[in-house]
Structure 1
Amino acid sequence: MLWQFILVGVLALIAGLALGFFIARKYMMSYLKKNPPINEQMLKMMMMQMGQKPSQKKINQMMNAMNKQTK
């Protein structure tokens, strides 16, 4: 009798973890589709808004620095 309650609890925990994983994965994929990470064009626009004239070398340096930071 007691082992049945434990078994049901463990199965419910496993099912909840699996369901939660897939829901979180779907949410993150849709979030990244709506809000993509910063790319070179966005970086160029931000620099121009801050009053800087971005060169391709400077943009590449900043993209490399951002990529290193995320790893």
Structure 2
Amino acid sequence: MSTTILIVLTAIIALAIGVVLGFFIARKYMMNYLKKNPPINEQMLRTMMMQMGQKPSQKKINQMMRAMNNQQGK
């Protein structure tokens, strides 16, 4: 009886440690990923449009940012 309880407690403790460790590893990974690949902002969008030969107006940039935010929300 006591060995069964010991096994169950060990499994629960190992699961809890795994969840906590997994959270911190995933958090560290996402922070590094966002540092290397920042999300697109208005300045980056303006630069990309100018490189493609378009003259970006603020209205067009706002429209594209809204479209990108809607796409990410889905």
- Asked whether the two chains share a fold, i.e. TM above 0.5, the reply is yes
Task: Flag structure 2 segments of 5+ consecutive residues without an equivalent.
Answer: none
Q: Per-residue displacement from partner, 1:20-67 (whole Å, max 9, x unpaired)?
A: 101111221122122210001111111122222211110011011111
TM-score after normalising by structure 1: 0.86
Aligned residues: 71
Question: Alignment partner for residue 54 of structure 1, among 50, 53, 56?
Answer: 56
TM-score after normalising by structure 2: 0.83
Stretches of 4+ moved more than 3 A in 1?
Answer: none
Whole-Å separation in 2 of the counterparts to 1:4 and 1:68: 50
Task: Flag structure 1 segments of 5+ consecutive residues without an equivalent.
Answer: none
Aligned to 1:32: 34
SS in 1 for 2:38: coil
